[in-house]
Amino acid sequence: MVVLSKPAIEQFSYTRNNKPTSTLFTQIPLVDLSKPDSKHQIIKACEELGFFKVINHGVPMESMSLLESEATRFFGLPLCEKQKTGQPEPYGYGNRRIGEHGDVGWVEYLLLTTSQDPNLHRFQGFRLALSNYMKSVKKMACEILETMADGLKIQPRNVLSKLLMDEESDSIFRVNHYPPCPHVQPVNANDSNSNGDVIGFGEHTDPQIISVLRSNNTSGLQISLRDGTWISVPPDQNSFFINVGDSLQVMTNGRFKSVKHRVVTNSEKSRLSMIYFGGPPLSEKIAPLPSLMRGDQQSLYKEFTWFEYKKSAYNSRLADNRLIHFEKT
């Protein structure tokens, strides 16, 4: 990333403290995938928060650290080299601009599909590390979705995971690099709502089914509780963090909630995160799973395909409530 000059920082947004970051200690739900009761813990976490951390996940540590070092090397290259991987339309290398509708963040990133070979021909090491990592992370995401199906007592247990396993699965991979960002006085000094934390990636929910995030040991990720307070997620480079996406909210007819999250920058250390977004095939109908519907229970949502939802999501701003357009009135 190019070093940003001081005035340029002014275009970035700051966190607001009208809904303060919680000072109460709220524990992030922890799921040990090797334990037989992990299915109950997953359900509880998805219902209460839409977010949890997993340990004993089976992804080899070497594959996590190898990808981290390859990605760090990539982001350390001159801007013109990184840009050769293509503009994010929507896939490729992006810098500060997120999406197509004016969102910006103190971040640079690589956005890739998981189905096509990434445009990283000149970065063989990176490409190989990525492909190994993605294989294990996808396997783990499927295992979590199968354990989730067990916890929901629905059959077949691959009812969710098969959408990620499908050859046509529209899954995405993202590597984000947040360079250290100086804490400056907010542009509007009279803005008492601003506490000076520059936004790395603005608040949003993920449109897909499930997201699997791993970061280095730098803090920054925050999740929103139901009451709107933000809590900081302590980093843990050996674990994964799982987000419920909008599609899973719909498939559980609102029983699970997609979690609103954001990243604030760190003034001293850079943060590197890698996220697998597990999505269904474009033609897949996103609707409550029939086996979850009791008696004459009605869907809270209109009928739509993943293609329709994705199109609408990509036309929205990051912080928009995207599901609202698909709720039955």
- Residue burial 237-247, b: 16+ Cβ < 10 Å; e: rest: eebbbbbbbbb
User: Nearest approach, Cβ of 85 to ligand GA4 (angstroms)?
Assistant: 15
Among residues 96, 271, 317, 322, the one annotated as catalytic is 271
- 107 binding ligand GA4? (CB under 6 A): no
How far are the Cα atoms of 15, 122, 197, 261, 264 from residue 227, in angstroms, in the given order? 17, 47, 21, 13, 20
278 binds ligand GA4 (CB under 6 A): no
The footprint of ligand GA4 on residues 61-100 (CB under 6 A) is 90, 98-99
Whether 322 sits among the annotated catalytic residues: the reply is no
Cβ proximity of 79 and 229 under 8 Å: no
Please identify, among the stretches 118-126, 145-153, 296-304, 314-322, the one whose residues bind ligand GA4 according to the rule CB under 6 A: 314-322
Nearer to ligand GA4, 243 or 266 (CB): 243
Taking alpha carbons only, the member of 247, 269, 94, 96 closest to residue 180 is 269
Cβ nearer to ligand GA4, comparing 172 with 210:
172
Q: Does 318 bind ligand GA4 (CB under 6 A)?
A: yes
Contact 205, 246 (CB under 8 A): yes
Which residue lies nearer to ligand GA4 by CB, 113 or 219? Answer: 113
103 forms part of the interface with ligand GA4 (CB under 6 A): yes
Can you tell me the distance from the alpha carbon of 33 to that of 268, in angstroms, rounded to the nearest whole number?
33
Residue of 278, 226, 221, 276 lying closest to 251 (CA atoms): 278
Specify whether the CB–CB gap between 197 and 264 falls below 8 A.
Answer: yes
Which CB atom, from 41 or from 114, has the smaller least distance to ligand GA4?
114
- Residue 170 engages ligand GA4 in binding (rule: CB under 6 A): no
Binding residues for ligand GA4, rule: CB under 6 A, are 90, 98-99, 101, 103, 111, 172, 174, 204, 206-207, 277, 313-314, 316-318
